[in-house]
Amino acid sequence: METRSREELYINVQPIQAAGRLTADAMKAMISYGDGYSVCDFCLKPFRLDKIKKPAIEEFHFELAKFVGMDEARTVPGARRGFQAVVSSLVNKGDSVVLQAVGHYTEFLAIEQAGGIAHEVPINTSGITTGDAVAQTIEKARKKDGKLPKLVIFDHFDYTNANEHDIKGAVKAAKEFGIPVLYNGAYTVGIKPVDGKALGVDFVVGSGHKSMASPAPSGVLATTKEGAKKVFRTTKIEGDVSGRKFGIKEVEMLGCTLMGANIVAMMASLPTLRERVKHWDAEVKNSNYFVNEFLRVDGNKVVSECPRKHCLTKVDCTESFDKIAQKHKDHGYFFTHELDSRGITGIFPGATRSFKMSTYGLTESQVKYLAEAFVEIARKHSLEVH
């Protein structure tokens, strides 16, 4: 297997890798706890992974709940497993869920897995999901199905454009109908402050490998005391011959939660996350700096909302770099090579029309260098720069 070195050798603007790079502490923890059941050395009564005190997994779970402003938290193998647990707990076959027309695909899969129906909330002309649109979709769903949806899933920032959607309006709308809200924080938890209780949501899901400087698969599902009764319900099944019961194992968690290298790496990264979310404004400032420089190239467009409120941005170069690509012997790869030769990677290979990139975690000087590279490549290929 080839050694992976892009994080060491390049400025990596890959849209979903930026905030999942490990901290040095997480890497150390992984190395120490790489073996299979490594965290189970001191698994004592009541024999559930999230109750282990050495390493301090139990305490970490309290800290994790606090970190997202909720009462209880569990780790999960990826945000998608958090969606699955919530949907599976609240949605029976034929029940419906309201989610965004820009919602993440794994939310749809979780609904399909539970036999549920998906009702999408359209975005407005600015690409934003508003609270009013959520209310209208709930009404529409009620009329169509003859009953209210069981859940609203809401991506604070969507995965395509990373536009900020009206989470407060969505919560207000859902609460008027008494419908619980799952806050999908895959693009927020771990990079910007998230306070679930302040937002009034019932569930917060975050992605360890996307935004919490953790290895894949990892994630968090946090909830209120009320929500915990449903989603973290303990097992009731019994063996009809053996008479066995299974104690405090939780059904949706399938017993023990995230183990080994992944949980210890999450633990090791948490102090860094706590600190770095305080600097979200600086990250967004970098993002806007880049976008403004990028727009100096004649024909370059930004598909995401502007000014940027996130570091992930979808851009469109159909009228600039793609025009060069049309005539170039390497087609779109000319652009990839130009970036590569400048030590920049992470943009979809060969893409010169529409692509996503992220400036998250870059230093100010790296962002400047990145922006200059775009301008320089434009000039080299005779595109006008304003």
Q: How far apart are CA 273 and CA 355, in angstroms?
A: 27
Contact predicate 15/312, CB 8 Å = yes
Nearer to its own copies, 154 or 294 (CB): 154
Residue type, 368: K
Pair of tokens at residue 224? 């209120």
Told to check if 386 binds its own copies by CB under 8 A, we report no
Write down the residue that tokens 């930026």 correspond to.
18
Told to check if 84 binds its own copies by CB under 8 A, we report yes
> Which residue in 64, 73, 221, 259 binds its own copies (CB under 8 A)?
259
CA dihedral (138, 140, 143, 149) positive or negative: negative
- Site size for its own copies (CB under 8 A): 88
Give me the least distance between CB of 192 and its own copies, in Å please.
17
- Strand-pair partners of 48: none
Q: How far apart are CA 180 and CA 291, in angstroms?
A: 36
Give me the least distance between CB of 99 and its own copies, in Å please.
9
Told to check if 332 binds its own copies by CB under 8 A, we report no
Told to check if 108 binds its own copies by CB under 8 A, we report yes
> Which residue in 213, 273, 325, 371 binds its own copies (CB under 8 A)?
213
Told to check if 360 binds its own copies by CB under 8 A, we report no
Told to check if 336 binds its own copies by CB under 8 A, we report no
Told to check if 55 binds its own copies by CB under 8 A, we report yes
Nearer to its own copies, 193 or 217 (CB): 217
Told to check if 229 binds its own copies by CB under 8 A, we report no
Nearer to its own copies, 101 or 198 (CB): 101
Give me the least distance between CB of 155 and its own copies, in Å please.
13
Gap between the terminal Cα atoms of the chain: 45
Told to check if 27 binds its own copies by CB under 8 A, we report yes
> Which residue in 156, 210, 310, 314 binds its own copies (CB under 8 A)?
210
Q: Minimal CA–CA distance to 317: which of 361, 362, 363, 348?
A: 348
Three-state DSSP class for residue 37: coil
Told to check if 352 binds its own copies by CB under 8 A, we report no
> Which residue in 30, 135, 205, 291 binds its own copies (CB under 8 A)?
30
Told to check if 35 binds its own copies by CB under 8 A, we report yes
Q: Minimal CA–CA distance to 151: which of 127, 129, 179, 116?
A: 179
Told to check if 248 binds its own copies by CB under 8 A, we report no
What is the crossing angle of helices 260-276 and 57-67, to 10°? 40
Told to check if 3 binds its own copies by CB under 8 A, we report yes
Told to check if 98 binds its own copies by CB under 8 A, we report no
Pair of tokens at residue 108? 């749809």
Give me the least distance between CB of 110 and its own copies, in Å please.
7
Told to check if 251 binds its own copies by CB under 8 A, we report yes
Q: How many CB atoms lie within 10 A of CB 138?
A: 22
For residue 180, is the peptide bond before it cis, meaning its omega torsion is within 30 degrees of 0? no
Contact predicate 270/67, CB 8 Å = yes
